[in-house]
Amino acid sequence: MPEPAELEYFPEKQKAHSSVEAWVPIGAAVLVWVLLSVMFPGWALPLAIGIAAGWWQWRRTRRQRPHMTFTIQNGRLLVVDRHEHVVFECALEELDDVMLDTKTIQRVKEDMSSGIPMTQFVSSSVGPSIDTSRIELVSDKKVVRLTEHYTSNIDATEWFSKIRRFLRRHGWIPLLERSEQ
């Protein structure tokens, strides 16, 4: 029985992070320092610094789990998400295509030249057109989007080609090419 082949999919992350993420380790270190300074004044500052450094190191080195994992074994494709839920499963012959769902957007640019935050929307302008994309697996039964959100076109295109190369390496042929043979 051949070993299963795997491809881990890490799409580009959304850029909307909360500033609270930065304040949690700082707040925890300050809280430890305040609480311990009453009981153990000599140990309070070193322990607070140790907690902040440990938290920073943990965030920096923790392993990120893939958004999706593609597994091929015995001619079958299995796609599972980061929580180990099966998202898509079929024989390679049943997979018709891997496609890019592309959408063009125009972002609104606020004018902050006046320095007054309340006027930023008064003279806003529309930026240039930008393509955003997401990857879809297409079979005759269903269409599965690998992400709900659209990512930058360049990132989606790179992963699109990696996924297609991975599938082709293990015997998959797109439906249009099958009909030509």
At 126 the pLDDT is: 82
Which structure tokens are listed for 55?
């938290």
Task: Tell me how far apart the alpha carbons of residues 152 and 91 are, in angstroms, rounded to a whole number.
Answer: 30
Tell me the pLDDT band of 25, cut-offs 50, 70 and 90. Answer: confident
Is the pTM for the entire model greater than 0.85?
no
- The model's pLDDT over 52-76, given as tens digits with 9 standing for 90+, comes to 888 888 877 777 889 999 999 999 9
- What does the mean pLDDT of the chain come to? 86
Residue 99: pLDDT over 90: yes
Proportion of the chain in helix, strand, coil states, percent, rounded to 5: 40, 30, 30
- Residue 119 confidence (pLDDT): 64
The whole-number pLDDT of residue 59 equals: 78
| Average pLDDT of span 101-123 | 75
Q: Both tokens of residue 93?
A: 């012959």
Whether 142 shows a pLDDT value over 70: the answer reads yes
pLDDT at 113: 67
Structure confidence at residue 121 as a pLDDT band (50, 70, 90): low
Instruction: Answer yes or no: is pLDDT of 158 > 70.
Output: yes
pLDDT value of position 42: 87
Residue 143 has pLDDT above 60, yes or no: yes
Least confident piece of the model among 10-24, 85-99, 146-160 = 10-24
Instruction: Answer yes or no: is pLDDT of 20 > 80.
Output: no
Specify the length of the chain in residues. 181
DSSP assignment string, 128-175: EEEEEEEEEEEESS-EEES-SS-EEHHHHHHHHHHHHHHHHHTT---H
What sign does the dihedral 35-58-67-23 (CA atoms) show?
positive
